[in-house]
Amino acid sequence: MSEPPAGKTQKSEEIAREELKKERDDFLKAFFRKGVELTEELVRERDLARQRLLFLEEENARLRAQVASGDAIRELLRKIEALEIEKERVLHQFQEVQVASTRQHASFSEIENELANLANLYVASYQLHASLDPRGVLQTLKDLLAQFIGAEAFAIYLQLQENEGLIVAASEGVSESELPLVQPGQGMLGEVFTSGRAHHRDGDPRLGAISDPVAIIPLRLRDKIAGLLVIFRTLEQKHAFIQVDHELLKLLGAQAISALIAAQLFSAQDANQPPLSSLSDLGILSHGRVLVPHR
């Protein structure tokens, strides 16, 4: 068997070396490529692990904050509950104080109204007895009825002689020709005069009429009836009679005749006599000497 020529053998060896070198280079390339891939994979894994670690640390911090916040919230809830209880207690006390204040204010208002009513009655009584002339007393009666009571149309009847009819002593807002005649026991006015019981019409006092007076007040002199005070209707602004109106009408019914008689007696006295000379018969003067109180 013949050997291949030397040149051909050398060429084959070079080819083999080239192939071996190529395979080595391919292996190295593949190895380094695989190493780069593994390195890159490791870097990615490291980055992911770092991100995961950061996330876990943040989550841990958040959970710690939640635990601390939960304790704080529970503490706040306890405080809120305590404050709610305190608020209810304070509101209850405030309501009690408000109720007491309302009652006190109502009581003060009642006292103020009572004082105002008493002042009105005092002024009315003072004015009624201030005049020493019968005409002045009648004029005062008319002023009190108009200003204090709010009467627009009214009349004052007097019985001058017992068992006789009543005459009109004064009137306002209505002519005397329209006024009814009054005989004891006859008609509404006569029945009030005989019974001595005051009459008050129900409803709006502005709608009264001569045939249907809103108030009829007996005028008394001790235990006798000497006249009538008749209110036919009130002024437009007077919608109803209030308590002080009734009290004032009672006062006028009790004192008007006494004031008239006192004024008549004073006006009938001799003008040349001292005003108090007639008091000598009352025991105020004793044996011509003035009784002087001891100091």
Contact 198, 227 (CB under 8 A): no
Please state, in angstroms and rounded to a whole number, the distance separating the CA atoms of residues 113 and 135: 32
pLDDT at 121: 81
In Å, how far are 129, 130, 215, 256 from 139, measured between CA atoms?
A: 12, 12, 19, 11
pLDDT tens-digit profile, the chain (295 residues): 455 566 667 777 778 778 878 877 777 777 777 777 888 888 888 888 888 888 888 887 787 777 777 777 888 888 888 888 888 888 888 888 888 888 887 777 777 777 777 787 888 888 888 888 889 999 999 999 998 899 999 999 999 888 889 999 999 999 888 898 899 999 999 999 999 999 998 889 999 889 899 999 999 998 899 999 999 999 999 988 988 889 999 999 999 999 998 888 888 775 566 655 555 555 554 444 444 444 4
For position 17, what pLDDT does the model report? Answer: 79
131-267, what's its fold?
Beta-Lactamase (3.30.450)
**CB of 234 within 8 A of CB of 215?**
no
Q: Put the strands of the sheet holding 199-200 in their side by side order.
A: 167-172, 151-158, 224-234, 215-221, 199-200
| pLDDT single digits (tens) 200-238 | 988 899 998 898 999 999 999 988 999 999 999 999 999
In 3D space, the residue among 65, 49, 210, 229 whose CA is nearest the CA of residue 138 turns out to be 229
Residue 115: per-residue pLDDT = 72
- The full set of domain ranges for the chain reads 23-100, 131-267
Between CA 275 and CA 209 the distance in angstroms is 44
Distance of CA 174 to the CA centre of its chain: 42
47 CA to centre of own chain: 76
pLDDT at 280: 56
Angle at the Cα of 192 (from 198 to 227), degrees rounded to 5? Answer: 90
**Res 286: pLDDT:** 47
